[in-house]
Amino acid sequence: MASLLARGLLPALFGASLAMASAAASSDAEAGPTLDAVKARGALVCAMNGSRPGFSVVDSKGEWTGLEVDVCRAIAAAVLGDAGKVQYVKSTTQTRLTVLQTGEVDVTLSNVTWTYGRDADLGLDFITPTFYDGQGFMVPKKLGVKSVKELDGATICVRPGSTSERIIADAQAKYSIKITLVVIEDQKELNTAFFGGRCDVFVQTTSGLSAIRAAVAPNPEDFVILPEVFGKDPMGPVVRQGDPQWRDIVQWTVFALFEAEERGITSKNVDQMRRDSKEAEVQRLLGTAGGSSGKGLGLDPEWAYRVIKQVGNYAEIYDRSLGDGSKLKLSRGVNQQWTNGGLLYAPPF
């Protein structure tokens, strides 16, 4: 099990972070068991995939990037005053929840889909999703296909026993189309088969398709992901049951990312907003006069300010990890604010 220290902060941020850490450490609020452990350790421990472009990847220098990495960093900024005080534990599909159950990590962020069985039966709590995914269909642009309903007679590369097999069956029934499956066990062989022209269509989660297109396609611009999305894959942080304060800390850190975007607060303007804004919601979020103290979370009043200052709001994170600022170029889709027709919604601060 590999454990790597997170990347350092930019020099300009470092001095400010030390002061913020002191503020966090001086909070006189009572801490729950996980918060106590994190503070005593001086680092937050997050389980990560580490090989999922856009969500969590680690490069040859040991630097971690991605949407889920930034959510982990945001929690560290809230709790420890420093987004760099993180240890990442690389986990697999088989180990990502086990390491949380055994207490090896404080939170798991590893593309875990929120399901009834995992939530109700495994002693875990799922936080509000930070990414809503579903199964998509990718085709070569030269085919001229605009919709799944136009795939009658197509061949599709798919892994045996995968969710994609069920989704393909559902699509055939829904659109009364006939599809020929090319079943391939190994993911790399499947990638080679599709991009080599052995099959017409590639089915996987839309985020997975975007990552494979960016990393494997000879020319990513030659392939398009069709607009239809099938199934539901809501993914977000997971914590152990039995520590409601820790659950609230992780939950409200995510909400702070959403709320900052909704209020137009970014890592670049947060100081100005904190100084000048007369909006009550902004004042409460940033912990200025009249704002909430953070005491109920066991944190100091500036916890959300640090999250936004050091990590950014949700839109900033999405853009550099999955959106136009990344290689994936994945549109926001349902991962928009509720005010733009999406599913992201933070309760009032």
- What the chain holds in terms of domains, given with CATH numbers, is 33-130+236-340 (3.40.190.10), 134-233 (3.40.190.10)
More confident: 198 or 215: 198
Produce one character per residue of 272-304: b if its CB has 16 or more CB atoms within 10 Å, e if not. Answer: ebbeebeeebbbbbbbbeebbebeebbbbbbbb
* Mean of pLDDT values over 163-187: 89
Provide the percentage of residues in the chain whose pLDDT is more than 90. 68
231 with 195: CB under 8 angstroms? no
Q: Is residue 291 predicted with pLDDT exceeding 80? A: no
29: left (phi over 0), alpha (psi -120 to 50) or beta: beta
Residue pair 277/269 in contact by the 8 Å Cβ criterion? no
CA distance 222 to 201: 13
Query: What confidence score (pLDDT) does residue 16 get?
Result: 39
Q: What's the average model confidence in pLDDT over 140-168?
A: 90
Q: pLDDT value at position 253?
A: 98
* pLDDT at site 210: 87
* Statement: the pTM of the whole predicted model exceeds 0.85: no
Reply yes or no on whether the pLDDT at 32 is more than 60: yes
Query: What digits encode the pLDDT tens for the residues 72-119?
Result: 999 999 999 999 999 999 998 789 999 999 999 999 998 888 989 889
The pLDDT of residue 290: 62
Q: What pLDDT shows up at residue 143?
A: 96
| pLDDT tier for residue 26 given thresholds of 50, 70 and 90 | very low
Give the mean pLDDT of 23-47. Answer: 77
**pLDDT at 227 exceeding the cut of 50:** yes
Q: pLDDT value at position 3?
A: 39
The predicted structure's pLDDT at residue 15: 37
* pLDDT average, residue stretch 305-320: 98
Task: Give me the pLDDT at residue 62, please.
Answer: 92
3-state secondary structure at position 242: coil
Q: Lowest mean pLDDT: which of 104-108, 149-153, 187-191, 201-205?
A: 187-191
The listed range with the strongest mean pLDDT (49-58, 244-253, 332-341) is: 244-253
Helices of type H across 81-186: 98-101, 116-121, 163-175
- Provide mean pLDDT across the span 18-45: 69
pLDDT digits (tens, 9 = 90+) for 244-280: 999 999 999 999 999 999 999 999 999 999 999 999 9
